Amino acid sequence: MAHTSNPAVRLKDIARDLNVSVMTVSKVVRGCSDVGAETRQRVMARIKELNYQPNWVARSLAARRTFIIGLIVPDLMHSFFAEIAKGISAAIRPLGYDVVICNSEENAAVESSEVDRLLARQVDGLILASAQPPETLSVFERIEARNLPFVLIDRRFSEVRAPYVGADDEAIGRMATEHLIACGCRRIAHIAGPKLTTGIGRLNGYRAALDTAGIAFHEPYVVHATDDASGYDAARLLLRLSPRPDAIFGYNDPTAAGAMKAILEAGIAIPSGIKVMGVGNVHYSDLLRVPLSTIDQRSTAIGQQAADILVKAIGSKRKRPPRTVIVEPALVARESTGH
């Protein structure tokens, strides 16, 4: 049976029931950050029990906010970004915010258009995994001109003064390559990502790990791809090389999954013939024909941290120095590397 809202319930009724002030209840409803976690939980629980529904239009007018956050990601089909969206939603839902999700399709022009659309909708803040080239700052300048809080995730832009939440991509590249070296591999190929901080960082980490191990960098062993289809094509190129690689490190799990398809089609066993490593620990990684070793970026935690920073910025009357939050990655070893 569907629950309908109870128009008879007022903020002061909830305050009286919990022996707190009406202002405290109002702050919880408005998503203010200066209420203790225990008190917030008690108020939210009572609101749910009484099925209290605030007047969102009146709330928005009074607070001069829309209580909407915009999220722009390059590929919603990639479960890494879907998990980030899940983390953001879980963090902001109890605070009364909604999230509008846009898919830029890894296209800078599409992203620029989506930013303008969200600005026109007067969102309270933005979270972006940006597809802009490193030298292009006009999108961020338009956001800053509106004095709108925003947080960058996954991809960094050194010239943009904004909070960043993500992983250390060079550390990820190093960790993945070191794992393959520890598994006995010496001819390690890399399916590199786009020329953004994620792809550049992981490539640099790969090269650094080879150098530390005294393994020469071999230019033909690096090819570029972004998804499973291009990862498949990239792996087919690598398989034609002589000597053939004994391991492939994919920029992300989809490129690694595409590589595995090409390797198995060629009649080569994984991991005894070629070992494969990915990044992301996406939801299907352990369900593949050969479960994929990967680096877990803790995507849900990235979303939660980004949402927390953004909501605090929205509720703050003064501009804080931008924070950088690095979420520690973790190695997940499975059968594709023999562990």
Distance, in Å, from the CA atom of 101 to the CA atom of 95, rounded to the nearest integer, reads 18
Q: Report pTM.
A: 0.76
DSSP state for residue 5 in the 8-state scheme: P
SS3 content of the chain, % helix, strand, coil (to 5): 45, 15, 40
Sheet holding 222-224, edge to edge: 222-224, 188-192, 247-250, 275-277
Q: Identify the pLDDT of residue 295.
A: 96
Stated as kind and residue range, the H or E segment containing 166 is strand 164-166
Domain extent listing, the chain? 11-62, 65-167+299-328, 169-296
What whole-number percentage of the chain has pLDDT above 90?
Answer: 59
Q: Identify the pLDDT of residue 30.
A: 65
Q: What is the pLDDT along the chain (339 residues), one digit of tens a residue?
A: 344 445 456 778 888 888 988 888 877 776 666 788 888 888 888 888 877 766 554 555 455 667 889 999 998 877 888 899 999 998 888 777 889 999 998 899 999 999 999 999 889 999 999 989 888 889 999 999 998 999 999 988 888 989 999 999 999 999 999 999 999 999 999 999 988 888 999 999 999 999 999 999 999 999 999 889 999 999 999 999 999 999 999 999 999 999 999 999 999 999 999 999 999 998 777 778 899 999 999 999 999 999 999 998 987 777 778 889 999 999 999 999 997
Q: Does domain 65-167+299-328 have CATH number 3.30.450.40?
A: no
Q: Identify the pLDDT of residue 97.
A: 85
Stated as kind and residue range, the H or E segment containing 126 is strand 125-128
Collapsing DSSP to helix, strand or coil, 226 comes out as: coil
* CATH label, 169-296, candidates 3.90.1710.10, 3.40.250.10, 1.20.1730.10, 3.40.50.2300: 3.40.50.2300
Architecture of domain 11-62: Orthogonal Bundle (1.10)
Per CATH, 65-167+299-328 and 169-296 having the same topology is answered yes
